[in-house]
Amino acid sequence: MKSAVTSKFKELYGEKYGLYFSGGRINLIGEHTDYNGGYVFPGAIDKGIMAAVNPNGTDRVRLYSIDYAQSCEFGLEEADKPEFQWARYVFGVCRETIKRGGKAGGFDAVFAGDVPLGAGLSSSAALESCFAFAINEIFANGIDKVELARIGQSTEHNYCGVKCGIMDQFASCMGKTGCLIRLDCKTMEYKYFPFNPKGYKLVLVDTKVKHELASSAYNKRRESCENAAAAIRRNHPEVEFLSDAKRVWLEEVRSEIPQEDFLRAEYVIGEVQRVLDVCDALERDDYETVGEMMYQTHFGMSRLYEVSCPELDFLNRLARVMGVSGSRVMGGGFGGCTINLVKDELYDDFVKAAVEQYKDKFGHEPLIYDVQISNGSSRIE
Ligand code: GLA
């Protein structure tokens, strides 16, 4: 990837550039909790987006995407929003930097990615974080990394139509090798947890399914949660986010909100608690409990939050049947990967069975990813 990016940059724009990288993310547990003010537990991975970037002294941005084999040029005013979706991520990052009082002048950039698109590994957050970091550096804005994550999140909200939480961009910017990050999305307090389970491996199995309309379904989930929180708040004014609510408080408003909103909220309240339970279990090196919580999350995401699909449920059931310690859909859902906590001795058999049986059932092989938990956004050259 590095040589592809740098040689294309030299061909198109010249010899001088800085090289930047931001990874995608995994999340051990805490799904759809971020925009509810709850906890998440992600880490950055070694697969992501790499970009060669150099200011060009004009007020235009010239971009080349290696993966799309397309170039795009745009100005930096709100009206200059580019036509290609992939370029809008970069445009949004520029605009959000400017809105925060930072400078984003013209620059040239070539970028490529090795994080699979639509696999639930947050390739878009990797792209946003990579450019947020690079722009901050080349124009010496001095914006801190947490705010850079917010620039990426606002880009999703304002330029890509996804009302996402902060988890993906936070992990992509703030990741640390070998560590997962427990982030309280309400206070933005965070703590790094070294994650190196002895005797287990984390394995991602990608269904290669990506559902259209995932972003409108995602936004709808968020609305349901906000609805439920608003109903609870009428009785308990201290409830700012759904994560502040107790299960019994939700019960009080059962008849006042649509059944659908109730189920979504039930999932979220359970999930917030599971993150804390997982942290306790990790402190005791109790990976079987961690795994059990992952199965509970899958059940909730499938039946209550309804963001799973037959392919993901199939892989989850297979994991259970084979005695895999933990398995669940990872990320927003509607396709993408399962994340599995597998004992070393079971690893080969599980991977083999997942590939074979999934192919028998759905007619195509899933992909198996082996990822390393890595540092977040950085300059690499
Ligand atoms: C997507 C969003 C995140 C988060 C997850 C679900 O990845 O970008 O903010 O809500 O879904 O946990």
Note the pLDDT tens digit of each residue in 216-248.
999 999 999 999 999 999 999 999 999 999 999
pLDDT interval class at 211 (50, 70, 90)? confident
- The residue nearest atom 10 of ligand 1, judged by CA position, is 32
Q: How much is the pLDDT for 260?
A: 98
> Above 80 in pLDDT, residue 381?
no
The set of long-range contacts for 292-298, using a CB threshold of 8 Å and a minimum separation of 24, is 292/325, 292/326, 293/29, 293/326, 294/28, 294/29, 294/326, 294/327, 294/328, 294/339, 294/341, 295/320, 295/326, 295/327, 295/328, 296/270, 297/29, 297/31, 297/271, 297/328, 298/327, 298/328, 298/329, 298/338
In tens, the pLDDT along 5-60 reads 999 999 999 999 999 999 999 999 999 999 999 999 999 999 999 999 999 999 99
Atom of ligand 1 nearest to the CA of 34: 10
**What is the arithmetic mean of pLDDT over 302-308?**
97
All structural domains of the chain, each given as residue ranges with its CATH number in brackets, are 2-195 (3.30.230.10), 200-370 (3.30.70.890)
Report pLDDT for 297.
98
Flag whether pLDDT at 188 surpasses 90.
Answer: yes
Catalytic residue among 168, 206, 244, 261: 168
What's the average model confidence in pLDDT over 119-144? 96
Indicate whether residue 261 lines ligand 1 (CB < 6 A): no
The pLDDT assigned to 117 comes to: 81
Q: Whose CA is nearest to atom 2 of ligand 1?
A: 164
- 370: pLDDT confidence band, cut at 50, 70 and 90? confident
Please tell me the pTM assigned to this model: 0.96
Residue 274 has pLDDT above 90, yes or no: yes
